[in-house]
Amino acid sequence: MLKGPIFVAGHRGLVGSALVRKLRAAGRDDLLLRTRQELDLTDQGQVRAFFRAERPGTVLLAAAKVGGIVANSENPAPFLYENLAIEVNVIHEAWAAGVERLLFLGSSCIYPKMAPQPLKEEYLLTGPLEPTNEAYAVAKIAGLKLCEHYNRQYGVPFVSVMPTNLYGPGDNFDLRSSHVLPALIRRFDDALRSGADVVTLWGTGRPRREFLHVDDMADAALFVFEREIGPTFVNIGSGEDLPIGDLARLVAKIVGFEGTLLWDGSKPDGTPRKLLDVSRLRSLGWSPSIGLEEGITDTVRWYRAERERLLGPEGRS
């Protein structure tokens, strides 16, 4: 049982909103939720004042500046600075305020670009990172190491989990800053609406990626969080991957786009493969319940219901 009140940092994002859904479904009504306008997590003074006033018993740190390959490539400095600031402020001030439990949500991009597959937790810091998202990865590594060392030095059970590529309700569908799966949904839906019969996609379609529905991730994260795992971290994923080309064809089928897919090989592919080793998670007793086709269908349904709110009446973002 998580001690309340529970501060969900980043509750409007993909991950944070899934954690809120999970907690509310479990009957928790003692959630502390703040928008960025109400609490700027990059401002140490604001964060310190919040923790001293509210005294949360548990912190779920899902707040982050996130984006796809374009956003990461074009804006490395803000991705590094803002994520470092959020992590340092929240983790340190949580410790200083006597928070009993903290969960840090990392990312599978922390692993070296050419690490053996599947990616085991012990492969961290064994080689160079993927250059296109190095800044974000460095920030996430710093966050998990901060939790690890606070755990070792001060004995606080601050836990980190490293999710694979996530998708689902609440995702970002902006074409310049989104990840691959929501970008594919948006591209094919736009093409269907405009009557286009060709969609051109970045890269070769050959890299392989693993995907997990965000509601499964929330379930797994809280499952791990309520167990004693020591000052280390746990991968969270499905344990299965597929080529981006196959993913694109599956998304096109679900969306209803029957035109031609072209690949622009002049654009970067990113890491050739990124599959998490989830044997530690499975040994704890957790496995996913939402299949990829089911999850994409659910996400397409949510996106179409929310499209005008997300993109405006003209369908732009």
Residue 166 assigned as binding residue = yes
Known binder of ligand: residue 106? yes
> What does the H/E/C string look like for 204-228?
CCCCEEEEEEHHHHHHHHHHHHCCC
- The total of other beta-carbon atoms located within 10 Å of residue 245's CB is 17
Marked catalytic residue, from 111, 136, 150, 303: 136
What helix, strand, coil percent values describe the chain, rounded to 5?
45, 15, 40
269 is in an annotated binding site: yes
Please state, in angstroms and rounded to a whole number, the distance separating the CA atoms of residues 40 and 49: 11
Q: Are 102 and 61 in contact (CB under 8 A)?
A: yes
CA neighbor of 15 nearest in space, from 227, 254, 236:
236
Residue 40 marked as a ligand binder: no
43 carries a ligand binding annotation: no
Task: Check whether 140 is labelled as a binding-site residue.
Answer: yes
Residues 6 or more apart whose CB falls under 8 angstroms from that of 154 comprise: 95
Per the rule left: phi > 0, alpha: psi between -120 and 50, beta: everything else, 3 is beta
The verdict on whether residue 11 carries a ligand-binding annotation is yes
Q: Check the annotation: does 237 bind a ligand.
A: no
Binding site annotation covers 266?
no
- Has 105 been labeled as part of a binding site? yes
Is 167 labeled as catalytic in the residue annotation? Answer: no
Asked whether the bond before 118 is cis by omega within 30 degrees of 0, the reply is: yes
Task: Specify the pairing of strand 158-163 against strand 165-167.
Answer: unpaired
Q: Is 292 annotated as a binding residue?
A: no
Residues belonging to the binding site for NADP(+) are: 10-16, 105-108, 140, 163-166, 179
Which amino acids are annotated catalytic? 136
Residues belonging to the binding site are: 10-16, 105-108, 140, 163-166, 179, 187, 202, 209, 269
Residues belonging to the binding site for substrate are: 187, 202, 209, 269
